[in-house]
Amino acid sequence: MRIFSCVPGKTTVFKLIAGIEKPDEGQVSIDPDVVVGYFSQDTGEMGGRSVMAEVLSGAGRVHDLKEKLELLEHRMSDPSGEGLSESEMNEYGGIQLEFSGLGGYELESRAEAILTGLGFGRERWEEAVESFSGGWKMRIALAKILLEALQDFEGTVMIVSHDRYFLKHLANRVFEIDRGSLRVYERGYEYYLDKRERLTSVGD
């Protein structure tokens, strides 16, 4: 997976690439076989769950299967209940098989590793999402995507962010747009900062 960081190209560059906005002049040319997805910074509606629960909800089908299994398992272990019928036991077996095949039993450990990598200590995993600032909510939103889609993604991901910790841990190539020119740094964000400092020192 290649991850790019644009500094300081800003969100407009991404909206142009995604076709959300049109350029005042010229055109944006994208190969026909390229699929562009755009992840918005709007996290205003995120809330009502813990950090871990919010991240796990990003697993789509796997998360849905997890909730079904937990519901059935709760009924199975409830001594005051009637347990499961034969058809429900068959359903449980089918769900469990699909869940296992989709890597469901590794889901939480993957979420834990992603949250740790994004700077969330274990003591914060059960805190309410709405208690975090906008920048931290962005990390939670990214963790949801990483859990399901980006972990094994072989394409290109482009990021615009002011969060240096975030860029340091994810960006492995930096595009800098400055006064109409484009400069590419083929390594990570720290290499970019070091190179920029040296170029600035030479310029001075």
pTM of the shown model: 0.56
Provide the angle, in degrees to the nearest 10, between the axes of the packed helices 134-145 and 107-117: 140
Residue corresponding to tokens 């909730």: 67
CA dist 170 and 9 (Å) reads 17
Torsion sign over Cα 17, 21, 22, 25: negative
pLDDT < 70 positions in the chain = 1-10, 32-45, 149-155, 160, 166, 169, 202-204
Token digits of residue 70: 């937990």
CB 110 within 8 A of CB 151: yes
Range of the domain at 76: 2-203
Query: How do residues 130-143 score in pLDDT, each as one tens digit?
Result: 999 888 888 888 88
Q: What is the DSSP letter of 128?
A: B
Q: How many CB atoms lie within 10 A of CB 204?
A: 5
Q: Structural domain tally of the chain?
A: 1
In CATH, what number is assigned to the domain containing residue 16? Answer: 3.40.50
> How many other β-carbons are positioned within 10 Å of the β-carbon of residue 15?
14
pLDDT tens for each residue of 51-82: 999 898 878 788 889 999 999 999 999 888 88
Residue-level pLDDT at 93: 94
Sheet strands side by side (includes 173-178): 156-159, 2-6, 173-178, 181-185
Residues 175 and 164: beta-carbon distance below 8 Å: no
Are the C-beta atoms of residues 145 and 162 closer than 8 Å to each other? no
